[in-house]
Structure 1
């Protein structure tokens, strides 16, 4: 590869770690319907609130608000049940299904802020494969941007997080990947505005493929380079 290629395209990795919502599937419309209803019930400004809920565990989102008389754990459970019931408009990111299917099953994991039941429901709705390895909201004590989730994802794959490429779409997840010592690829398929980032960006998985070496390391290759 060219010496000028950004990290993410210039070296092979032991494993890939994927965020879920906004990274391999688009659940924005469904999630924002549920969270808008919840925010209105709490008397919040919906337009101000919605940008703050993406990429974090529901319990962390609610706890940060410090709403009087509100139990974050209880409210997060209610939101999760509503999200499980509403998977309308949940669709895969272009090319994600084929790209994930091209990877060795023991070389990738999903690392999501969603609870396990919701993650399974959305993957099913989007027609995406359920991974062999997954880290969900229940598996960590502190959510993104804390790196705990990505460190755990790497551990479950039996590799170092520093030998992983993280696929993310929002600031909290990007920060978690960075803090875990991983390289980061920013998926922009659901972004309405350009994100300023030092990381390589990916508007669609149709634009990339993976080369697998004899030692089972994986290299992301732009399809134009094939």
Structure 2
């Protein structure tokens, strides 16, 4: 855990595992898909964390036609968006986002989910959306490529080195590092978001 306040000009948040807990949905949907295609569910789930759905489908089903892979990707995205179970916030996520918005601090969501799925999961978990969303539709290369973080920093008008990223999964961590952002890893550097506070001056001091 960092021992001193961190200074940055913008905050960049991953979603799944960082702001919302979608573990049951992710593991259930990918287990069913893996079993339907004779794949090892544990291997598929491990690979999928932090990645775009299309990238995981392409990796494990390379012998299918492009249309076939797009069809499966569409079906999986629909299942994710229509998930009937609970989606919970990571402890402290909603309060932290309200602090960020109240302070007027530039912030973005950088997720491998589609825009519709991101909106649905954030709403289900009760976590407010930041002003900028970078989703699967916005980048040609998903995590672990840095494209999403670089685009978010650009849209916020902030150098990536002056941004603080919040991540949890190896693919997202690699993406944030490759983009050159500062980084806090949920589950490693901090257990959750309950101890994170944005400085009262609203000028980029983050206490953890």
Residue 185 of structure 2 corresponds to which residue in structure 1? 186
Aligned residues: 204
Distance 2:71 2:149 in 1: 26
| Residue 108 of structure 1: aligned partner | 107
Structure with more relative contact order (C-alpha pairs < 8 Å, separation 6 or more): 2
Corresponding residue of 1:26: 21
Q: 1:161, CA displacement in angstroms?
A: 0.9
Contact 1:135/1:149, CA 8 A, preserved across alignment: yes
- Distance in 2 (alpha carbons) for counterparts of 1:129 and 1:87: 20
Answer yes or no: is 1:160 the counterpart of 2:159.
yes
> Structure 2 CA distance, aligned partners of 1:134 and 1:87?
24
C-alpha distance after superposition, 1:177-224 (max 9, x if no partner): 011110110011xxxxxx6xxxxx1112111211154xx5312213xx
In 1, are the aligned partners of 2:167 and 2:183 still within 8 Å (CA)? yes
Alignment partner, residue 146 of structure 1 = 145
Q: Is the 8 A contact 1:109 1:132 kept in 2?
A: yes
Q: RMSD across aligned C-alpha pairs, in angstroms?
A: 1.7
User: 1:85, CA displacement in angstroms?
Assistant: 0.9
Between 132-141 and 47-56, report the one with greater CA deviation.
47-56
C-alpha distance in structure 1 between counterparts of 2:127 and 2:204, whole Å: 21
Give the direction of change, closer, same or farther, for the CA distance of 1:15–1:212 in structure 2 (3 Å limit): farther
Distance 1:86 1:23 in 2: 19
Report if the CA contact (8 A) 2:160-2:179 is conserved.
yes
Q: TM-score if structure 1 supplies the norm length? A: 0.85
Structure 2 unaligned blocks of 5 or more = none
CA distance in 2, matches of 1:217, 1:177: 22
SS in 1 for 2:173: helix
Pairing of 1:1-226 with structure 2 (within 5 A): 6=2, 9-70=4-65, 71-103=68-100, 104-105=103-104, 107-188=106-187, 201-213=189-201, 216-222=202-208
The alpha-carbon deviation at position 6 of structure 1 amounts to 3.6
Maintained 8 Å contact 2:105/2:204: no
Matched-pair contact (CA < 8 Å) for 1:87–1:125: no
Query: Could you tell me whether the CA contact under 8 Å between 2:177 and 2:183 is conserved in 1?
Result: yes
Structure 1 unmatched runs, 5+: 189-194, 196-200
